[in-house]
Chains A and B, each alone.
Chain A
Amino acid sequence: MSDSIDIINAFALLTNFVILPALSYGSQLALGALAVTLVYSILRFSNFAQGDSMAFGTMLVILISGFMISKGWTISGVPTALLAIPMALIGMAIYLLLIDRLIYKHYRRINAKQNIVGITASIGVMFVTGGIVRFILGASAQRFGDGERFIFSVREFKAFTGLEQGIALKTSQFLTVTIAILLVAFLFYFLQKTKTGKAMRAYSDNKELALLSGIDPDKVVQITWLLVALFTTIAGTLYGLDKGFAPQQYHLLLLPIFASVIVGGIGSPIGAIAGAFLVAFSEILLTYAYKKFLIYLLPLSMHPSSLVQLIGTEYKYAISFVILVIVLLIKPTGLFKGKEIV
Chain B
Amino acid sequence: MNNLNTILQANKAIAYFAIMAFILLFVGLNQSWALALGIINMSLISAIMALGVNIQWGYAGLFNVGIMGFAALGGVSVVLIAQQPVTEAIDVGGMKMLIALIFGAVTIAAGILLNRRGVNQWLTTLIVVIGYLITRHYFSEASDLIEKVDPAITGYLGGFGLPVAFSWVVGGFAAAIAAWLIGKITLGLRTDYLAIATLGISEIILYVIKNEDWFVRGLKNVYGLPRPVPYEVDMQKSEWLQNIVAWIHKSELQLLSQSEQIVRLGDYVRESAVVFVKLCYSGLFISILVAFIVLSNLALNSPWGRKVRAIRDNEVAASAMGKDIKRQHLQIFVLGSAIVGVAGALLVTYDGIFIPTAYQPLRFTFLIWVMVILGGSGNNMGSVLGAFIIWFIWIQSGPMGLWFVDILSNTMQEGSASLEFIEDRVHYLRLVFMGAILLLIMRFSPGGLLPEKNKEL
Contacts and interface: CB of A to CB of B under 8 A. Distances in A.
A262 interface: yes
Contacts of B452: none
Nearest to B424: A138
A262 B185 CA distance: 14
A120 interface: yes
A252 interface: yes
A341 B429 contact: no
Interface stretch (A208-216, A275-283, A321-329): A321-329
Interface stretch (A12-20, A121-129, A183-191, A231-239): A121-129
A225 B141 CA distance: 51
Interface stretch (A22-30, A167-175, A194-202, A309-317): A309-317
Interface in B195-216: 195-197, 199-201, 203-204, 207, 210-211
Interface stretch (B161-169, B223-231, B336-344, B435-443): B435-443
Nearest to B367: A127
A180 to B, nearest CB: 24
B185 A317 contact: no
A193 to B, nearest CB: 31
B320 interface: no
Interface in B348-384: 362, 366, 369, 373
Contacts of B61: 116
Given A134-B425, A324-B196, A123 B65 contact: yes
B144 to A, nearest CB: 12
Contacts, number: 123
B197 A324 contact: yes
Nearest to B211: A314
B428 A139 contact: yes
A92 interface: no
Contact of A115 (B192, B366, B426): B192
B435 A125 contact: yes
A306 B197 CA distance: 33
A5 B285 CA distance: 69
Give the interface centre of B203, B211, B429 by most chain A CB atoms within 10 Å.
Answer: B203
Contacts of A262: 193, 196
A68 interface: no
B430 interface: yes
Interface residues of A, number: 47
Interface in B246-261: none
Q: Report which residue of B191, B211, B362, B424 has the largest number of chain A beta carbons within 10 angstroms of its beta carbon.
A: B191
A125 B193 CA distance: 19
Contacts of A124: 435-436, 438-439, 442
Grouping DSSP codes into helix (H, G, I), strand (E, B) and loop, the B interface class, with mixed when no group exceeds half, is: helix
B339 to A, nearest CB: 20
A341 B438 contact: no
Among A116, A136, A341, which residue has the most Cβ atoms of chain B within 10 A? Answer: A116
Contact of A128 (B63, B186, B369, B439): B439
A160 interface: no
A332 B196 CA distance: 14
A341 B435 contact: no
B207 A315 contact: yes
B389 interface: no
Interface string B419-457: 000001110111111111011001100000000000000
B117 interface: no
Interface in A84-131: 103, 106, 115-117, 119-121, 123-131
A198 to B, nearest CB: 27
B200 A321 contact: yes
Contacts of B425: 134-136, 138
A173 to B, nearest CB: 27
B203 A317 contact: yes
Contacts of B200: 255, 317, 320-321, 324
A318 B185 contact: no
Contacts of B207: 314-315, 317-318
A329 B432 CA distance: 37
Given A324-B197, A328-B189, A127 B366 contact: yes
Contact of A131 (B186, B195, B435, B442): B435
Contact of B428 (A131, A315, A340): A131
B201 A341 contact: no
A121 B442 contact: yes
A135 B432 contact: yes
Contacts of B188: 342
B196 A315 contact: no
Contact of B439 (A115, A121, A131, A318): A121
Nearest to A132: B432
Nearest to B432: A131
Contacts of B434: 127
Contacts of B424: 138
Nearest to B444: A106
A258 B196 contact: yes
A254 interface: yes
Nearest to B132: A310
Contact of B203 (A255, A325, A328): A255
B203 A341 contact: no
A103 B443 contact: yes
A106 B443 CA distance: 8
Interface in A233-287: 252, 254-255, 258, 262, 266
A342 B190 contact: yes
A119 B64 CA distance: 11
Residue of B193, B200, B366 with most partner-chain A CB within 10 A: B200
Contacts of A127: 362, 366, 431-432, 434-435, 438
Name the residue in A124, A252, A317, A320 with the highest tally of chain B Cβ atoms < 10 Å from its Cβ: A124
22 contacts: A45-B192, A48-B195, A119-B63, A120-B63, A123-B369, A124-B439, A128-B439, A131-B431, A134-B431, A135-B432, A138-B424, A138-B425, A255-B200, A315-B207, A317-B207, A318-B207, A324-B200, A325-B185, A329-B185, A332-B189, A342-B188, A342-B189
Given A119-B191, A132-B432, 6 more contacts: A103-B443, A116-B61, A124-B439, A125-B435, A135-B425, A315-B204
Leading 3 A-B pairs by shortest Cβ distance: A131-B431, A128-B435, A127-B435
Interface of B: 61, 63, 65, 185-186, 188-193, 195-197, 199-201, 203-204, 207, 210-211, 362, 366, 369, 373, 424-426, 428-436, 438-439, 442-443
